[in-house]
Amino acid sequence: MSFSTYTAKRKLNRLRRSACQLFTSDSMVKAIQRLELEVEARRLLIRKDRHLWKDIGERKKVLNWLLSYNPLWLRIGLETIFGEMIALESNSDILGLATFILQRLLWNPDIAAEFRHARVPHLYKDGHEEALSRFTLKKLLLLVCFLDKAKESRLIEHDPCLFCIDAEFKASKDLLLAFSRDFLSGEGILPRHLAYLGLPVSHVQTPLNEFNFAVKNLAVDLKCGVRLVRVMELLAQDWSLSAKLRLPAISRLQKVHNVDIALQVLKGKGIDLKDESGSIIDSRDIVDGHREKTLSLLWKIIFVFQVILDEDQLREEIEFLKKTLRTKRRLALLRADKGCQPSPVKARVPYKHTSRKITLLMDWVCAVCEFYHLKVENFTVSFSDGRILCFLLHHYHPGVLPEASISHSTTQTVECSPRGRLELNSSVSDSDGSFDFGPADLQGTDLLCFKELLENEKNNFKLVNSAVAFLGGVPAMINPADMSNTIPSEKVVMSYLSFLCARLLDLRTETRAARLIQAAWRKHKLKKDLLLYEARNKAALKIQVVVRRFLMKRRVKRQNEAAIVIQSAWRRHLAQNWLRKQKEAQLRDLQHKAASENHAAEVIQAAFRRWYKDKMAQRTAAAVKIQSWYRMQLWSHRYKRIRRSTVLLQAHLRGKAATVIQSAFRQHRERIKFQAMRLSAIIIQRRYRAVLLQRQHRENFLKMRQMHKAATVIQCSYRRHKQQLDFQRICWAACVLQQRFRAQRQKRLDVKHFQQVRRTVVLLQAAYRGMKCRQVLRRRQEAARLIQRLYRAHCERKRFVIFKSCVVNVQRRYRAVVAAKKQRKEYEHLRWATITLQAAYRGFYVRKQLYCWHQAASLIQRAYRASSQRQHFLALKDAVRRVQQQYEKIRKAVISLQALWRGHRSRLLNDNPKVVKLRYRLRKVSAEVKEEDKLYNKTSSALEYLLRYKHFSYILEALKNLETATRLSPECCGRLVESGATNVIFTLIRSCNRSGPCMEVITFSVQILLNLSKYHLTVEAVYTVEHSLETLLDLLQKYREKAGDKVAEKGGSIFTKACFLLALLLQDKGCAEVCTLPKALDRIRSIYKLTARKHKMDEERTIIRQKLNASVNGSFYVPATPRKSRFAPDWVLRKDKLKDIVDPLRAIQMVAETLSIVL
């Protein structure tokens, strides 16, 4: 069910509640009680000669009077008066209202059940007609008075006419007077009597009420001013303006006067009646049909009143949206581990407008678009791509317009660069850059992309229109051609958004429970996440303090150890320097001494020193590596011991919470590292691909976008399904709560109403019982004597009944004893027979099982023997086959010789001159026969006549020749099928009427089809002709047997042949097709019933005729023995089987048996 249908039903239910409140008001309840007392006291009474439930003419008159009301008013009145809902297809269902009036207003099933005769149907006791008349009178008067009061109180919002335009009555008073004149007894002026009871009627339908206020042409329909005044009445809620109109507005002065009334109301509201150019809008401009000034006036009316927007409701919705957005953002920040402080958002420039409602409308649009990170600046360009309208509908009804179907690539998100190519706009807000370069400035691929963007915008507007049509209540004011690739009209967008906002806020009440639950859950989730975040921060701070303290201690310790190492190294360095200097001094002394001794010694020493220096350097490097590895292992073991101790302490102190926090911290730290690495890799890849693979990347992107769209649609469908399930559960819970609340409220109303009715009924019962008691007292004296006589008779009857019951009991006991003995004997016999059968069955079962075993053993033996003998047999078989082939050739030769000899011998023995002469004549005729007289050629000529000529005599002659050829030769049947003449034959059958020549054509045509049905190769061609079965059914219907119909008597053979042909075609696969034809089985049943009735009438006529002949001749009438029909032919119409299908009843029975129809 669409939202528009739901809204219509909701408005109808609201109207029903208003009507019930009006009907149960104190004044109406008191008036209804007075009316019921008047009717019960017979001061308002229907004449005794008027039978509203018997007389069809009177019922029709009352029904026409009530149907003169507007169907909507009549429906509300009947539902309120009777207290039940009427199931109608629509508010204009006249047939349903008429049925309800006839069955419930002019008739009452409860009264009928109370006065119904116990045995005789449709017979009622005395008092039924009087009770039904009182019921109808009360309901009818209540209906008329209630509808008049409801109309005067403007119960329906758009206030339609109470009576139909073409109704007989146009006033409630006239209807009551006509009813009083024709049906009431001793009543003068009924409206005056009802006014005395508190039910006055005063409504009179005027020509102004029947005026057609629909506007089809602004320049023409607003000239008279009547429609403008009606608009001002509805907007200003001043219902006295219509009384100032001059109707009918024929002259120019009358029209100017009417328009002035509307303009005076606008001036009284302080509206400046000037158009955009500054010229004053005058009533004469409207009367003269000035289009621009008329449109300016209408726009001023729309923007000044704007009754469709509720300011308080809109402001409440904006606050709710802002709170929801803040909650969602805080939840998102908490999930992203960025704290509960939202990121700074740029302040939006407030939209300024003279109307407060327009400013609130812009705030509402911006509040919704902030959920989707869209920026709205105005009512023109921002709405040119349709995205904002799609997001508005998706926010409130995501099931009607999924987000995946919205096209995000539009001319607002993609700009045209000065170099002539399309580039992605870096701003999420709308931009006017898309209008700087038109399609003429683009070339090649860019033009295609631009067209694709325009197509996306059109798709967005199509989605908006389809969703709005589903929601209903919003006029179709926007067109994609007027919105896309241009600057939309600000007034049109404002008006459309006003209607859309009013409709969405109106439907918001249906999802308000779900939205409140969502908001409460978000608040609860936010509080829970905040507590968790604070606890996690506290734990992290504690861990950080401990870790920092531990690191500080370790750093101080390492510094001390490093200082000691540095000091020892420095002292070693100083000692080494001093030792080196000593060695150098000694060396210089030795060198100075040995310088003069030998130069070779110096060379050797220099070489040795170099070798020794390299060797010491290698040893030093190795020692350094060993020391570094040793220190690394030492500090690694120390770190691991400290880490294990820390972990054990943390696990002991904090348990699982510290572990979770540590894992979260490490995960966060690794995620940051990974994101940094990933960002660096992405930047490098983007630069590289942007230089080398730009076009390929664009193609891949287009391909991937389709895949992403498909994935997005699947995800959206799945999420929508989950949301629908959640929404259905929430709706079910809300409905249960509403039902409980409504049931409780209805219970209170029903209890109160029951108490009032009970008090009234007690009073009525007291009065009625007093009257009955007085009647009983008057009758008791007369009844006393009767009671005495009856009592004496009763005593005698009682004694007789006692004596009779004793006799009956004795007889019953005796018969019971006899029956018990008989049943016992039968039971014993049955038990003995059962035991015998059980024993026999058990023996049979054992023997059968033993027999199966023997059979299995025999089968195994047989199979073994067969397998052993088969090989020997196959060898013998080959030899015998060769011998038999030789023998077969010899046998055929001998048989041929014997046949020739026997023929020659027979001719010698049996020939006489007559036979010889006959043989000679046959040979002569065969030799002299013409080529065109051969059956093959006659078939060809007949087919040519049938297919080419349209003259009736040629067609009839061709059909005769074809009937002979198809009856005698199967080859001719095949040629007829190949030529396609079957379609022509069925066409002839359909085009013929019931004249004599046409019946002859149909006879030969059906005979040809029967001849074709003899052979399996040609019956398929008859069956596959289009509408063949329907044609045969029509033929049966046309020539069915009717008593006294001469044409039907002549067409009896057509009927029987058509039946047999239909049975032949339906034997294999035509039954299912016939069952699918509309009313085919019903037509066959009706034909069978008519034929059976004709057959029965013929039999009765024959019997009467035979009886008359027997009485005239003086003999006795002996009825003929019924003979069963022998009907078992292989196909149809051979000379030895003509009698089997002459009977039409048997023919139609054959068709029914073929179709398995139960007749």
Phi and psi of 204, rounded to 5°? -130, 125
Do residues 37 and 141 make contact, with C-beta atoms less than 8 angstroms apart? no
According to the model, what pLDDT value does residue 923 have?
Answer: 76
Using the predicted structure, report yes or no on whether residue 435 has a pLDDT greater than 80: no
Looking at the fold, whether 350 and 448 belong to one and the same domain comes out as: yes
The pLDDT of residue 1110: 67
The token pair at 914 is 């007559």
Query: In this model, does residue 600 exceed pLDDT 70?
Result: no
Do both 823 and 797 map to the same domain?
A: yes
Helical segments of 595-693, H only? 599-654, 656-692
Higher pLDDT, 370 or 690: 370
pLDDT at 478 over 90: no
Q: pLDDT per residue over 938-963, tens digit each?
A: 788 787 777 777 777 888 888 888 88
Q: Please tell me the least confidently modeled range out of 73-82, 137-146, 269-278.
A: 269-278
* Structure-token pair, residue 723: 């949301």
DSSP 615: H
**Could you tell me the residue range of the domain that residue 1042 belongs to?**
930-1155
- The pLDDT-based confidence of 1126 (bands split at 50, 70, 90) is very low
Which tens digits make up the pLDDT trace of 244-272?
Answer: 888 777 788 888 888 888 888 888 777 77
DSSP string, 514-560: HHHHHHHHHHHHHHHHHHHHHHHHHHHHHHHHHHHHHHHHHHHHHHH
Read off the pLDDT band of 445 (50, 70, 90). Answer: low
Q: Indicate the SS3 state at residue 350.
A: coil
Q: Is 283 a member of any domain?
A: yes
Nearest to 55 by CA among 109, 131, 106, 123: 106
Q: What is the mean pLDDT of residues 207-223?
A: 78
pLDDT tens across 105-126, in order? Answer: 888 888 888 888 888 787 888 8
Of residues 646 and 1078, more confidently modeled:
646
Higher pLDDT, 934 or 568: 568
Note whether 301 and 316 are same-domain residues.
Answer: no
In a domain, 863, yes or no: yes
Does any domain span residue 150?
yes
User: Per the domain annotation, does 520 fall within a domain?
Assistant: no
- Angle formed at CA 408 by CA 404 and CA 413, multiple of 5 degrees: 165
3-state secondary structure of 91: coil
- HEC states along 702-717? HHHHHHHHHHHHHHHH
For 294-349, the pLDDT digits (tens) are 777 777 777 767 656 777 888 888 888 888 888 777 777 766 655 545 555 555 66
For residue 1052, the model assigns a pLDDT of 56
Mean pLDDT of 596-621: 75
Give the CATH number for residue 1125.
1.25.10
Q: How far apart are CA 537 and CA 534, in angstroms?
A: 5
Locus of tokens 């403008």:
228
- Report how many domains make up the chain: 6
Q: Are residues 1012 and 1133 in the same domain?
A: yes
Task: Kindly state whether residue 538 falls inside one of the protein's structural domains.
Answer: no
User: Which residue shows structure tokens 């026409």?
Assistant: 64
Is residue 1154 predicted with pLDDT exceeding 50? yes
Question: Could you read off the pLDDT of 385-408 as tens digits, one per residue?
Answer: 888 889 888 888 888 888 888 888
User: How many CA atoms does the CB half-sphere of 160 hold within 13 Å?
Assistant: 13
Least confidently predicted of 386-390, 626-630, 650-654, 740-744: 650-654
- 329 & 428 share domain: yes
- CATH number, domain at 429? 1.10.418.10
User: Can you read off the two tokens belonging to residue 288?
Assistant: 């003269």
Q: In a 3-state reduction of DSSP, which class is residue 184?
A: strand
Sorting pLDDT into bands at 50, 70 and 90, what band is 1044?
Answer: very low
Q: Say if residue 278 is in the same domain as residue 380.
A: no
Please state, for a pLDDT cut of 70, what percent of the chain lies above it. Answer: 86
Token pair in block for residue 846? 């054992």
In this prediction, residue 148 has a pLDDT band, given cuts at 50, 70 and 90, of: very high
- Most confident range (mean pLDDT) of 455-469, 702-716, 900-914, 1038-1052 is 455-469
Tens-digit pLDDT profile for residues 762-794: 888 888 888 888 888 888 888 888 888 888 888
Instruction: Indicate the SS3 state at residue 116.
Output: strand
Same domain, 936 and 881: no
Using 50, 70 and 90 to split pLDDT, how confident is the model at 1042? very low
Q: Is 383 helix (H, G, I), strand (E, B) or coil?
A: helix
pLDDT at res. 146? 93
User: Residue 593: what pLDDT?
Assistant: 72
Q: What is the pLDDT of residue 1135?
A: 34
What residues contact 467, with CB distance under 8 A and at least 6 apart?
393, 397, 400, 401
Q: What confidence score (pLDDT) does residue 73 get? A: 92
Q: Which of the listed residues 491, 508, 525 is the one where a domain comes to its end?
A: 508
CB contact at 8 A, 1040 and 1091: yes
Q: Cα angle vertex 380, ends 374, 386, to 5°?
A: 55
Residue 521: inside a domain, yes or no? no
Strands 414-416 and 422-424 come out as antiparallel
Q: How confident is the model at residue 1127 (pLDDT cuts 50, 70, 90)?
A: very low
Gap between the Cα atoms of 3 and 1038, Å rounded:
53
Rounded Cα gap, residues 1000 and 878, in angstroms: 64
DSSP-based three-state secondary structure for 473: coil
Give pLDDT, residue 9: 81
Is the pLDDT reported for residue 641 higher than 70? yes
Q: What is the mean pLDDT of residues 1001-1011?
A: 87
User: Are both 328 and 251 inside the same structural domain?
Assistant: no
Distances (CA, A) of 267 to 263, 298, 299, 434, 524: 6, 14, 15, 43, 54
Residue 728, pLDDT above cutoff 50: yes
Q: Of the residues 472, 492, 508, which one is the last residue of a structural domain?
A: 508
- What is the model's pLDDT at position 436? 40
268 and 338 assigned to the same domain: no
pLDDT the model gives residue 335: 66
Given a cut of 70, is residue 655 above it in pLDDT? Answer: no
Q: Does any domain span residue 92? A: yes
**Shared-domain flag, residues 874 and 795:** yes
Of 195-209, 629-643, 899-913, 1128-1142, the poorest mean pLDDT is in 1128-1142
Most confident of 234-248, 433-447, 872-886: 872-886
Highest mean pLDDT: which range of 299-313, 557-571, 640-654, 1016-1030 = 557-571
Report which of residues 36 and 1117 the model is more confident about: 36
- Give the residue-averaged pLDDT of 571-575: 86
Asked if residue 453 lies in contact with residue 410, where contact means CB atoms within 8 angstroms, the answer is yes
Q: Which two structure tokens, joined as six digits, stand for 675?
A: 């994101």
Among 177, 197, 217, the domain-final residue is 197
Residue 543's pLDDT band (boundaries 50, 70, 90)? confident
Mean pLDDT for the stretch of residues 1018-1039: 80
Specify if 597 maps to a domain. no
In this predicted structure, what is the pLDDT of residue 500? 85
What's the pLDDT at 1131? 41
Residue 397 sits in the same domain as residue 253: no
d(CA 333, CA 327): 10
Same domain, 127 and 187: yes
Ranking 25-29, 81-85, 740-744, 1155-1159 by mean pLDDT, the lowest is 1155-1159
- Mean pLDDT in the chain? 79
